[in-house]
Amino acid sequence: MSASVNQTQAEGRSAYAAGVGCYLLWGFLPLYFHLLSNLGATSWEMIAHRSLWSVLWAGGLVLIARQGGQVAQVLRQPRTLGMLLLSTAAIFSNWTIYVFAVNAGHVIEASLGYYINPLMNMAAGALLFRERMTTEGKVAIGFAAIGVAIQTLALGHLPIVSLGLAATFCAYAILRKQVKADAQTGLFVECAYLALPGLAYVLHLQASGQGHFGHGGAVTGLLALAGPATVVPLALFAWSARRLPLSAVGFLQFIAPTIQFLLGVAFGEAFTPLRALSFVFIWLGVATFAYGAWKKTKILAPAQLAKD
């Protein structure tokens, strides 16, 4: 019994470490793109290399998980391939908006998108899948709406970057919810869809003398690092999310946008009092959302123990 408890505790600690690790990697991703930009790489070149190198790492995950048979099965299912093509379009749109936003000096606005995303997911769940929305959820979405309205006043226009990032990642989550395939298998197929266009663009850049791959160890290494920078945090997230309680995931998922927000401030991006006020309401929504997730877990835990 003691050995079993110790094993469970050890797995729990590992899950927390993996969860924190994935959100730390996502949080510091703007630094990676800034480094590449300073070395001369363009946003499209970064996206192309991200598309190209990711398929190798995603394929490695499939091999480790021994899911080659599932990949072969998915390749024989036109509907599943069609859904994964749509999810690929959603995640590619998300990547594109994010990379261009970071390189254009909109890291703070990008962080707002990832604060909004879980609240948008909750609203989509209620509208599309008839998931029950709690009082805390409704209050959290209300706070977020006020925050977006104030951000619109502060910017003088809708926060397109924030809403675009939140909407594309929400669409990705909705589409992947419909796909009957494990995370690693789906990710590999998505990366495979993007690999050939990515390779074609990289070859075009190299042939025309505009590419940076092979022009110095630093930029070459960073471009090749796009694969693990994309796939490793996704793998850590997939592993930890299956082992952590909902309340823990609810708290951990806000690590990344908080780091991104602080990086944006450190980069010297404009942060007026009105923008600060918008984030106050966003953070109130985040806190309410996290509290609701924690309360739901506390209610479900006794029922689960009784069931066990």
pLDDT at residue 250 tops 70: no
Give residue 303's pLDDT.
46
Evaluate whether residue 23 is within a structural domain.
Answer: no
What pLDDT, in 10s, does the model give residues 64-73?
888 899 999 9
What pLDDT, in 10s, does the model give residues 13-25?
888 888 899 999 9
What's the CA angle centered on 60, arms 47 and 20, to 5 degrees?
70
Give residue 247's pLDDT.
57
Domains in the chain: how many in total? Answer: 1
Evaluate whether residue 292 is within a structural domain.
Answer: yes
Evaluate whether residue 15 is within a structural domain.
Answer: no
Give residue 54's pLDDT.
94
Evaluate whether residue 75 is within a structural domain.
Answer: yes
Evaluate whether residue 18 is within a structural domain.
Answer: no
pLDDT at residue 300 tops 60: no
Give residue 237's pLDDT.
81
pLDDT band at 286 (very low <50, low <70, confident <90, very high): confident
C-alpha span between 149 and 158 (Å, rounded): 8
Q: Mean pLDDT over residues 129-155, rounded?
A: 86
**186 phi and psi angles, rounded to 5 deg:** -60, -45
C-alpha span between 275 and 109 (Å, rounded): 10
Give residue 84's pLDDT.
93
For 142, the domain range is: 29-307
Instruction: Yes or no: say if 226 and 36 are a contact pair by the CB < 8 Å rule.
Output: no
Of 241, 201, 202, the closest CA to residue 220 belongs to 202
Please give the radius of gyration of the chain, using alpha carbons only, rounded to the nearest integer: 20
What pLDDT, in 10s, does the model give residues 25-36?
999 999 999 999
pTM score: 0.85
C-alpha span between 81 and 93 (Å, rounded): 18
